[in-house]
Amino acid sequence: MADIAIDLGTANTLIYVKGKGIVYNEATAIAYDQRTNAVIAYGNTAFDMIGRTPPSIRVVRPLSTGVISDFAAARTFLQIIVNDNVRKSRFRPLRAVIGVPSRISGAEFKTLQDALDTNRLAKVYAVQEPVAAAIGAGLNFSDPRGCLVIDVGAGTTDIAMLSLGRVVESRSLRIGGDALVAAFANFMKNELRINVGDRTSETFMREYGMAFKVEKRKGTIAGVDMKTGLPVHVDITSDQVMSAIREPVSLIVSDLRRLLDSVPPDLAADALEDGLNLTGGGSLLNGLAELLFDQTGIQCAYVDDPLTAVALGCGAIVEDLDLYKFILESLPEEIAGMA
pLDDT above 60: residue 237: yes
CA distance 272 to 140: 16
For the chain, give the percent of residues with pLDDT over 90. Answer: 77
Could you give the 3-state DSSP secondary structure of residue 88? coil
Q: Are 149 and 301 in contact (CB under 8 A)?
A: no
- The pLDDT of residue 28: 96
Q: Are 141 and 165 in contact (CB under 8 A)?
A: yes
Q: Cβ atoms within 10 A of the Cβ of 92, count?
A: 9
CA distance 220 to 145: 46
Residue count of the chain:
339
Instruction: Sheet containing 157-163: give its strands across.
Output: 166-173, 157-163, 147-152, 276-279, 300-302
Split at pLDDT 50, 70, 90, the class of 207 is very high
261: left (phi over 0), alpha (psi -120 to 50) or beta: alpha
- The pLDDT of residue 121: 75
pTM for this entry: 0.90
Pairing verdict, β 21-27 and 12-17: antiparallel
Average pLDDT (324-333) is: 64
pLDDT above 70: residue 131: yes
Query: Could you report the per-residue pLDDT of 310-323, keeping only the tens digit for each?
Result: 999 999 999 998 88
CA distance 146 to 150: 13
